[in-house]
Amino acid sequence: MATGSAIIPVADGIAKVLSENHSALLVSSGRYFAASLLLLPIAFLRHGRSALPPRHRLKPHIVRTILMVMAMTLFYVSIVTIDLATAVAAFFIGPVVGSVAAVFMLGEKMTRDKLAALALGFVGAIIIARPGPAMSPGVLLALAAGVCYGFYLVSTRLASGETTPLQALVFQNVFGTILLLPQAVLTWSAPSGFDLILLLGMGAISLICHTLTINAFRHADATTLAPLSYVELITAATLGYVWFGQTPETNVWVGAAFVASAGLLLIFTRRRAAATA
């Protein structure tokens, strides 16, 4: 889990590099296409037609994929104008949103801990966004990406029945490629040979991270693994400084601390509930 969280910002950094010469919308499309290109041959060789989810389970997977496509596209557009660490810090509002959304969508109970986490996450988002004349549209886009991701997490739970992780991954990438095809056509600019290598690298990193995460959950519970996702913020800040010479402002670190505290509160609440069950 730690390895997956550490390397996913590399794909984000590649997206930022590609966005210097191509539309972020095209980069988003290319990432899904590259992942599908790498994944489909392996999936169909191993599982044939069963590599896709059953037809009667497609609806939740469609919703799930739409939300993920929106989250990723908004995130990629955001990092054109803001540094990686700031974008990742804002994006981490997602798990908090997902926890609260589960109350309404999955019938889970609203607790004082969830309300406290929501408040902490909201304060953190405000500190990161820093409303006023200096507020960056890129931060708002990253926050919107995090909200979409939060609902994606809930929809993933709805889609999990009768579906294997591989089926979910195949459908997400194939349907995502189809959804993003129009924006690829509308924002097309011819990639160089090196750009194509970078796109394939993005797709490969994405698949590796998903595989690492899936296998992590086979060996440890969610409450143990979830805090390790915050390794991503450290890697994003490091890559942003090394690759682009960008250093997040103080308000980003303060806001990130609030958002991380909200996430950790939810994690420890679940762990405590599991221990008393």
d(CA 203, CA 200): 5
Burial class (CB in 10 A: 0-12, 13-18, 19+), 56: exposed
**Model confidence over 174-232: pLDDT tens digits?**
999 999 999 999 999 999 999 999 999 999 998 898 888 777 767 766 556 666 777 78
Average pLDDT value for the chain: 84
What DSSP element (H or E) covers 73? helix 58-78
Residue 255 CA to chain centroid, in angstroms?
19
pLDDT for residue 119 is more than 90: no
Residues 263, 230: contact at Cβ < 8 Å?
Answer: yes
Residues whose CB falls within 8 Å of the CB of residue 71, separated by 6 or more in sequence, listed in order: 94, 145, 146, 148, 149, 152
Share of the chain above pLDDT 70, in %: 91
Domains held by the chain: number: 1
d(CA 232, CA 92): 10
pLDDT at position 34, please? 93
pLDDT at position 121, please? 81
Confidence bin at 26 (pLDDT 50/70/90)? very high
pLDDT at position 229, please? 74
The domain of 28 spans: 2-276
d(CA 52, CA 270): 32
The pTM score is 0.83
